[in-house]
Amino acid sequence: MGFDPKPAAAVLAQAWRSGVQFDELPLAIRPRSIDEGYAVQDALIDAMGEPTAGWKLGVGSPAAMRQTGLGRPLVGRVLGSCCHPSGASFALARGTAVTVEFEIAFVLARDVEPIAPIGAPLDVVAEARIAFEIVRSRYLDRRAVGWPSFAADSVGFAALVVGRPIDIAQIARVTEEVVVELDGDEAARGLQGDDWSDPIAGLAALLVHARERGVTLRRGEIVSAGAIARPFNIEHDARLSATACGVTLHAHLMLTETPSR
């Protein structure tokens, strides 16, 4: 009998709606491969029953990809209700680590059919923007559950804050200049070397992922391409800001109590 992704998706959807985290998926319904993990992710998005705004890449630095052994980033979905403009205030359930990642996000210029030839990744881009991705997995320890289960959980996606456009030619400079602040104090600067996730390489990986899974990427979708500043955790209400190349991004994150497990 083939793998049925719906039972695992139902568990993850319930956890997403309630904010209650859990240890891991029951063994009988747990994905055993990355392909099965993505099948659960697809079923999870269907179970959530709301529009998506785009895509997110994770675990995409050279150092991280050596750990996964996959050779490319993991891909998750961005729910439309969890995609916010710069300056937004929004709430997430309090629990285990809420992680903040400063990223480059691309806006797609056109639909990309899975049968289309894959050219230069930036050929499909209308503009680049700076962004915060907020990671809060449905698992208590997202690093302990294995990569298929993490892929099933939409790669830990919780929220995305998207700022103003930047010059695509300035992406490297953004990494060099960015300073991320938490409640007015410096929290992170740009990553370098094997810890840096190349945004353009991440976009290229998404194009391959979409082709393999027969997915059409849509004009206007956001692609958040992986951390280019050191991720950090927060445990309380926080005001976030990041400035690079004269562009500033703001967000107000509120952490609320979850029901008892």
236 falls in which pLDDT band (50, 70, 90)?
Answer: very high
Q: Tens of pLDDT along 85-135?
A: 999 999 999 888 899 999 999 999 999 999 988 889 999 999 999 999 999
Is 217 domain-assigned?
yes
Is 96 domain-assigned?
yes
Nearest in space to 163 (alpha carbons), one of 94, 219, 244, 226: 244
Is 261 domain-assigned?
no
Is 93 domain-assigned?
yes
CA–CA distance, 177 with 189 (Å, rounded to integer): 8
Query: Structural domain of residue 152, as residue ranges?
Result: 6-256
Burial class (CB in 10 A: 0-12, 13-18, 19+), 201: middle
Q: Is the pTM higher than 0.85?
A: yes
Q: How many domains does the chain have?
A: 1
Q: Is 134 helix (H, G, I), strand (E, B) or coil?
A: strand
Q: Give me the helix-helix angle, 6-18 and 34-48, nearest 10°.
A: 50
Is 83 domain-assigned?
yes
Q: Write down the pLDDT at residue 259.
A: 60
Is 166 domain-assigned?
yes
- Answer yes or no: is pLDDT of 260 > 70: no
Q: In the predicted model, what is the mean pLDDT of residues 223-234?
A: 97
- Answer yes or no: is pLDDT of 258 > 90: no
Nearest in space to 77 (alpha carbons), one of 57, 92, 59, 106: 57
Q: Read off the CATH number of the domain in which 204 is found.
A: 3.90.850.10
